[in-house]
Every structure is written in structure tokens, then in C-alpha cells.
Amino acid sequence: MEISQQVPVFVALDVDHADKARLVVQTLGDAATYYKVGLELFLAAGSGLVSELVDQGKRIFLDLKFHDIPNTVRAATREAAKLGVDFITVHALGGKDMLVAAQEGVQAGSGFADGHTKVLAVTILTSHAVADLAAIGLKFHDPKENVLNLATLAEQAGVHGVVCSPHEVAMIRANTGLAAMVPGIRPTGASANDQKRAATPSDAVRAGASYLVVGRPVVQAPDPKQALLAIQEEIDLALKLKEA
């Protein structure tokens, strides 16, 4: 079956050493073009590894979740864009000025790469429930209300999309023009690990996901390449059925 990449799958490189990440990339070979680098690997391996992967033609989602004053975030996103990554994340809770500054930084830095870095906003962390939001003191205690409010703010600031759980995708797509990067994906029959509100790749695609993030179900599979190909085939099938 020919694999389309209409909904790219970003493999999360959640490892603590550059060599472990290189081994995953080598094992997946041509089957994987898209990778997520988060705080753990970035701190363990540095930006050099990101550049190395970009030089190999890999497409990187750099998930460092910036949240600071606009000037600092502008400078950080500029440096991230210089690395040639496809996506970076910022917290929508940083506010509209910070979100606009993130876009400005990307534009300033993209001149150094090929100009394609896009900003994704994180709305409410999926680890937060009603009680956590009340304790923080947010006006709305319902996570969904906050997600929609922050996604609307992010859209007004001009960001490309949001990171959201499979259970929020349909709401985001119905109410905004934002793209949705969706983690918490578990192929049918796979262990949920610590993901409490996981969904299958087909569910996420049917709900309107633009990109998926998958970590352990691929990286820790007995045959990672096969596991990734099976997910990509499931996505293709779901897209065909959706279009039919």
C-alpha cells in the first residue's frame, strides 16, 4: 500500500541521549520523515542534534513550549527558526502580544533557513483538570472553555495551529481555522501507558487532526518500522473513508 503523508506522523524522540535518538532515526530509516524533539532530548543533546536531523532531511517539531515576555519569546523563536525546524510551540497563556512576538521571531529567523517554521500554541495542558484550573485562578474552570478561549486568542494573533488532545480536535476545527497537532494517539490494541484520554489514529483523523504525534507505540514497539507503517496505513484508510 502506498503511504500518503497527508496527515504526517511525528515520532516523539523522548530519549535522554543523542545516540539513542540517532538509533531510533536509523531504525525507522525512510519510513519516518517527521520527528518531535522535546525538552528532555533538547537539554540532553543540544541544538546540534536538531541541526543534524534537519540536515538529513528530517522535518522537526521542536516542542519547547515557550512562555515568557514578548521580547524574550521573539528572540527564542527567532533562534529556533534559524535551526530550520517546521514547528515550534508557545503557551497561549503567554497572551496575545507574546503570540504575535513569537510569529515575528519566526519571520526574522526563517530567513536563515528555508522559511517554513510555523508556530503552534499550547492551550490548556491535558494534565490539568477542573480543580487545577480553579486553583490557578482562571476565570473558566472547565478545561474545554479555556481551550476554546485560548485557541481563539491564538488565532487572532495569527498562529498556525494548536496542540490539542484527540478529544478537542473536533471543537477546534469547528470553531477556528487553526491546524491541530494531536498527541495521545494509541493504535487499536496498544498499551495506553500513562495517556488517560487516548484515541486511535483513525479517530483523530476523522475528528480533523492535521498532524499526529506518536511516541512509545512506535519507539518501544518490537518492530518500530512496522508499527509506524501500520499507523500510516490506518491513517490512509481513515482518510479514504472520510472522503468517500
Residue positions annotated with a catalytic role: 65
The three-class DSSP label of residue 68 is coil
Instruction: Decide whether 215 or 224 has the Cβ nearer to ligand C5P.
Output: 215
- Residue with the CB atom nearest ligand C5P in the bound state: 215
Strands 211-214 and 9-12: parallel
Candidates 7, 8, 9, 14: give the one binding ligand C5P (CB under 6 A): 14
**Residue 5 per-residue DSSP state:** -
Instruction: Decide whether 119 or 163 has the Cβ nearer to ligand C5P.
Output: 163
Q: How far apart are CA 122 and CA 126, in angstroms?
A: 10
Candidates 117, 126, 146, 202: give the one binding ligand C5P (CB under 6 A): 126
- Quick one: which of 54, 207, 176, 68 has its CA closest to 116? 54
Candidates 128, 141, 173, 216: give the one binding ligand C5P (CB under 6 A): 216
CA separation (Å) from 114 to 28, 42, 154, 164, 171?
Answer: 25, 21, 24, 27, 32
| Residue 214 makes contact with ligand C5P by CB under 6 A | yes
The three-class DSSP label of residue 122 is strand
| Residue 213 makes contact with ligand C5P by CB under 6 A | yes
| Residue 92 makes contact with ligand C5P by CB under 6 A | no
> Which residue ranges make up the site for ligand C5P (CB under 6 A)?
12, 14, 38, 126, 163, 165, 183-184, 193, 195, 213-217
